[in-house]
Amino acid sequence: MSQSENVIEIRNLSKVYRDFWGRPKVRALNALSLDIKKGEVFGLLGPNGSGKTTTLKLLLGLLFPTEGEVKILGKSAADVSKNERIGYLPEESYLYRFLNAYETLDFYGRLFNMTAAQRKERSEKLLDLVKLAPQSRRRQLKEYSKGMTRRIGVAQALINDPDLVMLDEPTSGLDPLGNRDMKDLILDLKAQGKTVLMCSHLLADVQDVCDRIAILYGGELKVMGRVDELLKAQDETQIRSSKLSDAALKEVQEVLKRHDANVINIDQPTASLEDLFLKTVQESRERPGHRNVIDRQSVT
């Protein structure tokens, strides 16, 4: 039963980019296996060139795997009919630059066989949702700034009210306000029970919105698990309170000592996903092949 709950199943997926003559150039992805469940927000992290975009493209059938296989919404990546329920925001907004915002959404709406009324209603709603200024909606996309293009890109990805949304760096190019909106949007999608797979470099946001994350390094899966589990240091307790006086602090330390606890440090808490990320990258660089998977959900 849990099998059918998987919106995405990736098994042993590898991708080798080849040149024109078929000679291998880069091994962009190596034996990746992961499942993404219905209704969760999954973050794919990793330094530049670690294979995040490659993974998304393999899932969408834009690239063909060298090895391994992919099931998405229970269908193969090559199946066009799966796209009915998928929304995809590419890394850069590859849209038609000579169309304006309305025409763009209208065009993509038609590809979903939506009627004129549906398209009109949905476009208005989405343009409001992504907060594209009304006065720029009739301008051609080639005149748009990066952030505006990004917004219309997101609107385009949601035109069909998809069950599975794949966002490749949704926040790139957005201003802080836009970032905030994006976060809300993703949480909103989650609240509607949609599955979201996103790549991002903004770790603070990922930490806030993602249920689970995977960190890739050099095409290999290094860390995977629930965000809260990953960030919970197993054998440490963090105590947080309002600022203590020196005397009070001394007292607390004494109590801890009495209980044989070893005080490591008492400090303000840090943006810890960043720590985890940096640690993972550092470790991967030093100890290739090492892997740390904490995935409670898939164990139970």
Partner 1 sequence: MYFDPNEYLLNPYISFLNWAVVVGCLTFVVLFISMVNLVATRGANGIGIFFDELGEMTADLFHLSPRRIWALTRLTYTEAIRRKALSVFVVFGLLFMFAGWFMGDSKEIKPDQVKVYISFVLTTISWLTLPVVLILCCFGIPEDIRLRSIHTVVTKPARRVEIVLGRMIGIWLIGCLVLAVMAVVGHFWIVRQIPAESQPLLTCRVPVYGTNIEFLDREGNFARSGVNVGDIWAFRSYIEGATKARAIWTFRNVDESSLDSDGNLNFENSFSAFRSYKGDMTRPLFYDIKLFNPAKNLAYTTDPQPVNEFRHKLDKIPRKVTVDNVQYDILKDFVNEKRELNVEVSCIDREQYIGMARSDLFIRMPDRPFWMGYWKAVLGIALTLLLITMIGVSASTMVKGPIAAVLTFVIYFLSLKDNHQFMDQLVFGQVQGGGFLESIYRLVMHMGPSQELPANPAFTVVKFFDWTLNNFLWLCRHVIPYSQYFNMPEFVSNGFDVPWETSILPSLLVTAAFIIPCVVMGYFALRIRELESK
What's the token pair of residue 32?
């990746």
Query: Of the ranges 25-33, 92-100, 234-242, 269-277, which one interacts with ligand ATP (CB under 6 A)?
Result: 25-33
- Decide: is 26 part of the binding site for ligand ATP (CB under 6 A): yes
Contact 111, 103 (CB under 8 A): no
What's the closest the beta carbon of residue 210 comes to ligand ATP, in angstroms?
16
**Residue with structure tokens 């998977």?**
293
Among 53, 93, 149, 200, binds Mg ion (CB under 5 A): 53
- Decide: is 103 part of the binding site for partner 1 (CB under 8 A): yes
Query: Of the ranges 109-117, 175-183, 227-235, 276-284, which one interacts with partner 1 (CB under 8 A)?
Result: 109-117
Amino acid at 81: S
Query: Of the ranges 94-102, 121-129, 216-224, 228-236, which one interacts with partner 1 (CB under 8 A)?
Result: 94-102
> Residues 6 or more apart from 87 whose CB is under 8 A from it?
157, 158, 159, 160, 162, 164, 165, 166
What's the token pair of residue 285?
């660089």
**Residue with structure tokens 């209980």?**
259
Q: Are strands 195-199 and 41-45 parallel, antiparallel or unpaired?
A: parallel
Give me the 154-173 binding string for partner 1, x by CB under 8 A, dash otherwise.
Answer: --x---x-------------
Among 10, 28, 34, 77, binds ligand ATP (CB under 6 A): 28
- Decide: is 287 part of the binding site for ligand ATP (CB under 6 A): no
Residue 98 site contact among ligand ATP, Mg ion, partner 1, none (CB < 5 to 8 Å, cut-off depends on kind)? partner 1
Classify 127 as helix, strand or coil.
helix
> H or E element: which one contains 76?
strand 75-76
Q: List interacting residues with ligand ATP (CB under 6 A).
A: 17, 25-26, 28, 46, 48-54, 91
